[in-house]
Amino acid sequence: MKITVMTADEQIISLDVDRDESVENVKALLEVETRVPLQQQQLLFNGQEMRNNEKLSALGVKDEDLVMMVSNAAPSSSTNALSLNPDGSAVNPEALQQHFRRESNTMAQLFQTDPEFAQALLGNDLNKLQEILRQRHRHRSEIQRQRDEELALLYADPFDVEAQKKIEAAIQQKGIDENWAAALEYNPEAFARVVMLYVDMEVNGVPLKAFVDSGAQSTIISKSCAERCGLLRLLDRRYRGIAHGVGQSEILGRIHVAPIKIGNIFYPCSFMVLDSPNMEFLFGLDMLRKHQCIIDLKDNVLRVGGGEVSVPFLQEKDIPSHFLDEERYSKQASSSGGPAASGAKDKNDNPSAGVQSVGSGGGGALAQGTEFEAKVTKLVELGFERGAVIQALRLFNGNEEQAAGFLFGG
């Protein structure tokens, strides 16, 4: 393991030692490095003197711990001022801070190896410095605890079932850690935040930023956004219901057609209107299919109409921060891992008031009232599974004959 030794003359020394090394041998190594005779050295760890016959492991010294070395002639007050508490914090953080600041070479090295600690030493927030010292101490303690557990498993009874389970878990965790380290080195982008896809559009002449989501079955618009675009007067309330995903939201109805402008071209679009304050406008799979859209991630553009118009996806700086809530909602609404989306008839029990699930996840059902259920029942009686029947009807927009041909052909 490695330990760092800070001398009274502000010299930083890094030593590779065995965890069971004696303090006397460590002093011998320091004598070579510092020219200070072994007999004149006094080593301190967590404010306590380290005696020659004691071992580092017995004193609780762990990898990357800091040990203070002073001459026997050095004032004890200076020694105590630079020592550390058992929790890793400094006994006198101001003295420790000033001690490091006076050593420009040490600070330069810290900026290379530990910039966070260096910034705390140069700052004026002693509480932050103490917290960093405590965090490093906890981290070192956790590493040492894991190593101690691994060492104990090496000497465990090979016929002990519980010990074997722990060994298996340790091997699995080691594989996970190696995989994580490889990802950091070869695929660091995987740890970055993924910015969702937004484009500039106009809905009925009102500019807005549309969330492009091929994982959502329907294009949806919030009640407030529909009102702002002057479309709420066209709301067909016969299509009321409940959209189920990870969460649920009330479907107020449907706007059957309204103009949207993408680039310089107008396209007809239909919307499901949801009573949701967290979602403004979501351009779903139904309109992506209808207008032959291509999500081109190589050129970072949305191509509409088979490529007749292309609009760039917005950069993160151009996306309003409150849209993060919209992204979270859309993930809930279109999650494939949530419960099956189910429709509901309107409050007047109108059979034609079909409701389409917002999510496109597996198992999401396209409910069309009693008429749709009759089609499902009829096809199930032919020997097909209910899930396959619902998927086929959804694929062919409820056309019973086409769905049956698809099922027989499969």
Q: Which residue has the tokens 């618009």?
A: 221
Q: Which has the closest alpha carbon to 360: 211, 221, 213?
A: 213
Asked if residue 404 lies in contact with residue 380, where contact means CB atoms within 8 angstroms, the answer is no
Q: 294 by DSSP, 3-state: which?
A: strand
* Residue for token pair 């016959």: 53
Q: What angle do CA 257, 259, 264 make, to 5 degrees?
A: 155
CA distances (Å), 123 to each of 83, 88, 133, 135, 409, in order?
20, 19, 14, 18, 73
Q: List, edge to edge, every strand of the sheet that includes 309-312.
A: 294-296, 301-304, 309-312
3-state helix, strand, coil in the chain (%, to 5): 45, 20, 35
Instruction: For residue 213, indicate whether it is catalytic.
Output: yes
Give the Cα separation of 162 and 159 in Å (integer): 9
Give me the residues paired with residue 283 across strands.
Answer: 212
CA distances from 251 to 210, 309, 330 (A): 19, 31, 14
Beta strand pairing status for 265-274 and 220-222?
Answer: parallel
Tokens of 40: 């004149």
Nearest to 329 by CA among 206, 246, 250, 239: 246
Helix H segments across 35-160? 56-59, 76-81, 93-101, 104-113, 115-122, 126-154
Question: Which member of 65, 213, 286, 346 is catalytic?
Answer: 213
d(CA 232, CA 259): 14
115-135: burial string, b at 16+ Cβ within 10 Å, e else = eebbebbeeeebeebbebbbe
> How far is 173 from 161, CA to CA, in rounded Å?
18
Identify whether the C-beta of residue 224 lies closer than 8 Å to the C-beta of residue 208.
no
Q: What secondary structure letter does DSSP report for 55?
A: B
Residues recognised as catalytic: 213
